[in-house]
A and B are shown apart, each in its own frame.
Chain A
C-alpha cells in the first residue's frame, strides 16, 4: 500500500527527529551546566522538553489534517500533509533547542503538557458518549424522516420486509407496504425481561440473604466467586445453551402438560438470561445487606424477634433502596442483552402474552436489520438506529435512577452510623 508506506516513513522520520531532539537538547543543557550556570531543571528534562516540542505540534498538525481530510473531504494529499508535519517538527526542534536556557523552567513545561494530555484522554469517555448519541440520533432522525414517529411508537405491526422492494422500486410486487410499529418488539423485550427478572430477583436476593445473614464464613468466601462465574460466561454461550438445551426441555415439559410451545419460546431465553443476571442481583444485594448497620439487627433481636423476622422486617426494608437499585440495573441489562435472544428467541414480531409462543425483541431486530445485505440508507437498516435510540434512552434512565437510589442509601446510612 502506497499510503501505508508513506505513513511508516513519516513515523520513522518523526522518531528519528525525536531522537535527535533528545540528544541535542541534552547536549546543550549539559554544556550550559558544565559552563557553571545554575539551571532550573535537569538536562534530561530539557531533553524531554525538546522532544515534546518537536513531536507534539507535528502530530497535532497531521491529526488535524487527517481529520479535515475525512470530515470535510478536503483534498490534501497525504504526502504533502505528512511532509508539512515533518517541517513543523523540524521547526519545533529548533525552537525546543533554542528554549534550552538556564532561566527556562523545562520541568513545569513538561508537566503542563502531561496534564493536558491526561485531560485529553479523560475527554475520550465523554466523546464516546457523544459519539453514541450523535451516531444513533443522527441515523434515527433519518429514519423518522422516512417513517412516522407516531406510527413507530404506537404501531402494532413490524413488517420491514417490503421496504426493500420499495427501495428497489418494486413496491407493487410486495403484498403490503413496509410497516414499522415497534410495539410488538417492545412487548417481546418486556416479556423476556420479565421472565428473566422472575428468575433472577428471587434467586439472587435469597442467595444474597443466605450469604449475608446465615452462611458460615467459609461458605460465603466460596459462594461469592462461584456465583461470579455465572456473570463471566459470554452471552453467546448462554444463547447456545438456551437454544440447544433449555428450549427443547421447555417444549417437552409444556407438551407433558398438554401445552404447545414453540422452540423459539420466550421462556428459554428469559430463564437463561435470569440465570446470567443472578450474580448481578446477589452481589449488589449482598453488599447492601452487609452495609445495613449491625445495630439494626441487634435492636430487633433484643426485642425478642427471631432472626427470620429481623431479616424480613428490619434488614430487608433498610436495604430496600439498594435492592431496588440492583434490580433496576438488572432490568437495564436484560433489556439490552442481545446474543441470548438472537440465538434463542424468535424472529417473528408477535404481540402475545403467552411466553410459550415465539416472539422477537428490540435487540434481535437491530441485529437482523444490520446483518442483512441491505443498503445502509434503507428504512430497515435505519430502523435499527431508531430502536437503538429508544433502548439507549430507556437503559440510561434506568441506570440513572439506580445510581440515585444507591447514593441515597449510602448517604442515609452514613448519617445513621454517626
Chain B
C-alpha cells in the first residue's frame, strides 16, 4: 500500500519551500532589473534637470566709449567675475549695431558665469568667498536668479558651460537621420519586398537572409571602420559630415528595416494575394496596390524603431569623425557636424564640473526624443494591429 497523504505532505515541505524560493528569487530578479531602471532615470533626472535652468544676474551695464575697447569696463568691478565672458564679448558688437546705446547706462539681466550658476544651484563652485557674498547679496535683492535656460536649446557647443547648447548637435542629428532614412528606407523596403514577394527560395536568397541576420548582430563600431575605409578614404565623402554619418548609420539600420518589413509583409494573409491575382493583377500590381498598403503600418513601426536606434548610436560616428567641436548651427550635408550622442560624449569628457549638468541635460533631451519615437511606434502598432 502506498503512503498516505499526510506522510507525503510531510516529505514535501522542504520541496515546497524550494519551489517558493525560486518564485521569490525570480521575482526579485525582475524587481532588480526594474530597480536599475528607476535608479538610472532618477540619477539622470537629478543630474540633468538643473541644466534646464540657468543663472542670470541683473547688473548695471555702462555702454561707455571705453567699454567698446575693453568690455570689462562696462561693468562694475564687483560683478565683473560673475558675468559670463560670452556676454562681455558681445558688448562692442552691440554698440556697433546700435550706436544709440553709446553713453547710456542700463540695468540689464545678463547671463551669469557658470560658477555663479553652480553656486546658486548649491553645487560645488570655484567662486571666492568675496564673490560668493556678492552673489548672495544680489540674490537677496532679487537681482540673481535661476531662469529657464533658452541658451541650452539655441546655442551650439562652447567651451564655456553657460553658453554650451545642443542646437548644432540637434541639427546634425536631424541632417544625419535624413540621410539615413533616405537611404535605408527605400533600400530596406525594396529588399524585403524582393525577398518576400519576388525571390525564389534559392541559394542566393538564403545567402542574403543569413547575411541580413548577421549584419543585425555585427558590433556597430565595425560599421564605423567600414565608413572610414570605404566612404571616406575610398569615395572621398567629407569626414565628419552628416553625409558620411548618415551613410554609415543607413547600413546599420538597413537590417532593422528589412526584418520589420518582412514581418509586416508576411503578416498579410495569402488570401489577399490570391484574390488580387484572381482578378488579373500582375505580381507588382498585387504588391503595390494590395500588399504594401496593408503592411505599411508595420513597415512604419519598424522604420521608426530603426531610426530611434540610429539616433542613439555613437561609436561608428566617432570613427567617421562626427565628434567635432561645432559652435555654430550649420545646415549643410557636407560640412563638419556633430550629433546629440556625440555631443554628450564630448561633454562627458570635459573636466569642468559644470559640464556634468550639461551632459545629463543633453541625455534627458535625447531620452525624451527616443521615448517619444518608440511610444509613437507602439501606438502605431496598437492602432493598426490587425488579426486576420
Contacts and interface: CB of A to CB of B under 8 A. Distances in A.
Contacts of B195: 122
A418 interface: no
Interface hub of B208, B309, B314 (most chain A Cβ within 10 A): B314
B218 A392 contact: yes
B378 A241 contact: no
A124 to B, nearest CB: 6
A209 B34 CA distance: 15
A76 interface: no
B254 A338 contact: no
A385 to B, nearest CB: 6
Interface stretch (A56-64, A94-102, A159-167, A363-371): A363-371
Given A111-B284, A122-B195, A367-B319, A214 B37 contact: no
A81 B25 CA distance: 70
Contacts of A135: 225-226, 228-230, 234
A239 interface: yes
Residue among A139, A234, A336 with most chain B CB within 10 A: A234
Interface in B180-210: 186-187, 190-191, 193-195, 198-199, 205, 207-208, 210
B254 to A, nearest CB: 6
Contacts of B32: 203, 207
B26 A210 contact: yes
B74 interface: no
B18 interface: yes
B103 interface: no
Contact of A125 (B34, B258, B342): B258
Listed residue (B29, B213, B344) with the most chain A CB atoms within 10 angstroms of its CB: B29
A214 B27 contact: yes
A4 to B, nearest CB: 9
A129 B218 CA distance: 10
B251 A336 contact: no
Nearest to B197: A118
A158 to B, nearest CB: 18
A144 to B, nearest CB: 16
B214 A129 contact: yes
Contacts of B228: 135, 370
Interface residues of A, number: 90
B254 A128 contact: yes
B314 A234 contact: yes
Given A114-B284, A125-B215, A234-B370, A214 B313 contact: no
Contacts of B230: 131, 135
A153 interface: no
Interface stretch (A13-21, A31-39, A168-176, A220-228): A220-228
Given A395-B219, A399-B217, A232 B370 contact: yes
A204 B34 CA distance: 11
A124 B228 CA distance: 18
Interface string B12-27: 1001101111110111
Contacts of B319: 366-367, 370-371
B226 A128 contact: yes
Contacts of A235: 312-315
B277 interface: no
A225 B34 CA distance: 11
Question: Which of B213, B254, B312 is packed against the most chain A CB atoms within 10 Å?
Answer: B312
A275 interface: yes
A206 B25 contact: yes
Interface string B363-382: 10011001100100010000
A126 B214 contact: no
Contact of A308 (B22, B229, B235): B22
Interface stretch (B40-48, B58-66, B117-125, B159-167): B40-48
B12 A306 contact: yes
B316 to A, nearest CB: 9
A332 B229 contact: no
Contact of B18 (A107, A204, A278, A308): A308
B152 interface: no
Contacts of B283: 111
Contacts of A206: 25-26, 28-30
Nearest to B251: A128
B293 interface: no
Contacts of B191: 118, 121-122, 124-125
A118 B198 contact: yes
A309 interface: yes
A237 interface: yes
B348 interface: yes
B384 interface: no
B10 interface: no
Q: Which of B23, B210, B233, B315: most chain A CB closer than 10 A?
A: B315
B225 A309 contact: no
Nearest to B36: A275
A403 interface: yes
Interface string A368-387: 00110000100000001100
A181 interface: no
Interface string A45-79: 00000000000000000000000001000000000
A216 to B, nearest CB: 11
B318 interface: yes
Interface of B: 8, 12, 15-16, 18-23, 25-30, 32-34, 36-37, 40, 43-44, 47, 186-187, 190-191, 193-195, 198-199, 205, 207-208, 210-215, 217-226, 228-230, 233-236, 251, 254-255, 258, 282-284, 308-309, 311-315, 318-319, 323, 341-342, 344-345, 348-349, 356, 359-360, 363, 366-367, 370-371, 374, 378
Given A132-B225, A138-B229, A278-B36, 18 more contacts: A70-B234, A115-B194, A118-B190, A124-B191, A128-B226, A135-B228, A203-B32, A214-B27, A229-B371, A234-B370, A237-B341, A239-B345, A244-B356, A339-B314, A339-B341, A342-B318, A366-B225, A370-B228
List the 3 closest A-B pairs by CB distance, nearest first. A336-B219, A308-B19, A234-B312
19 contacts: A110-B284, A118-B191, A121-B187, A121-B194, A122-B194, A122-B199, A125-B208, A128-B226, A132-B218, A236-B342, A278-B33, A306-B15, A306-B19, A308-B18, A336-B221, A363-B221, A370-B228, A388-B225, A400-B214
